[in-house]
Structure 1
Amino acid sequence: MMNNFDEMQKMSKDNMDMAMASFGSFSKGFQAIAAEMADYQKKSFEEGSAAVEKLVSSKSLDKAFEAQADYVKTAYEGFVGEMTKIGEMVTDMSKDAYKPYEGVMGKLAK
């Protein structure tokens, strides 16, 4: 009887350790994503401000359209690049959070 209690207690501790390791991975991942998003927002705001200044200082309508088209193109490319990077970060975070459970899943599959 005591042996079963010790096994149950060890299993509970192991499960808690796995959950805490997984939670730690999620926490680090979300912090990295939040920092990346803050950097992107700052950069995007600065680029937008520069584009407005360029647009306002345009001497002709053609130059204004050209400035706006350049901004839209760079903003779109920057957004797509950033979302790709965030997607990769989420994928990596998910893989790291799953690692503690790999051993258990392998045992269950056998």
Structure 2
Amino acid sequence: AEVTHTSAAPFVKEIWGSLQGITARVVALENRVDLLESRVKTLEEVSTNVVESLRMLQKGIKRKQRIEAITGMMSAVLNAVSFGFAGSVAQGAMGEVINSIVDFGDISHIQMVVKSFG
């Protein structure tokens, strides 16, 4: 059996078959890489959203703590004022005391104002 054209040779056909198999595997790998890139991009977007949500949660917690501190301070002030006065006179006096307090964050100032009225 004499081969007149090299493209008809069995070893050339075998090489072409191997190349086609390799090409198919490379295409499949490229598709998988594209899918992985898409998933990584989605993961980056989700992680960015999670980080932003955590920041918002942190701000909310800090705000809640400040509000609780102020509420506690106001309760303490109102309790201190209400123990010093009684009856309907207390309403006017309590209003005067609260109006006299300049800095509700300064405990010593609040105590001084309450003592001056009490």
TM range (shorter): 0.5 to 0.7
Q: What pairs up with 1:60-71 in 2 under 5 angstroms? A: 60-65=86-91, 67=94
Q: CA RMSD in A?
A: 2.1
Identify the match of residue 14 of structure 1 among 17, 28, 41.
Answer: 41
Q: In structure 1, how many angstroms separate the alpha carbons of the residues matched to 2:83 and 2:89?
A: 10
**Pairwise CA distance, 1:64:** 3.2
Deviations 1:62-85 (A, max 9, x none): 0334549xx9xxxxxxxxxxxxxx
Count residues with an aligned counterpart.
69
Rg (Cα) greater in structure: 2
Following superposition, which runs of at least 4 residues in structure 1 exceed 6 angstroms of deviation?
A: none
Q: Identify unmatched segments of 5+ residues in structure 1.
A: 72-110
TM-score of the pair, normalised by structure 2: 0.52
CA distance in 2, matches of 1:11, 1:63: 73
* Identity of matched residues, %: 4
Unaligned runs of 5+ in 2: 1-27, 99-118
**Higher RCO (CA 8 Å, separation ≥ 6 residues):** 1
Q: Which residue of 2 aligns with 1:37?
A: 64
Residue equivalent to 1:101? none
Pick the aligned partner of 1:56 from 63, 83, 92: 83
SS in structure 2 at match of 1:43: helix
Which has the larger helix fraction? 1
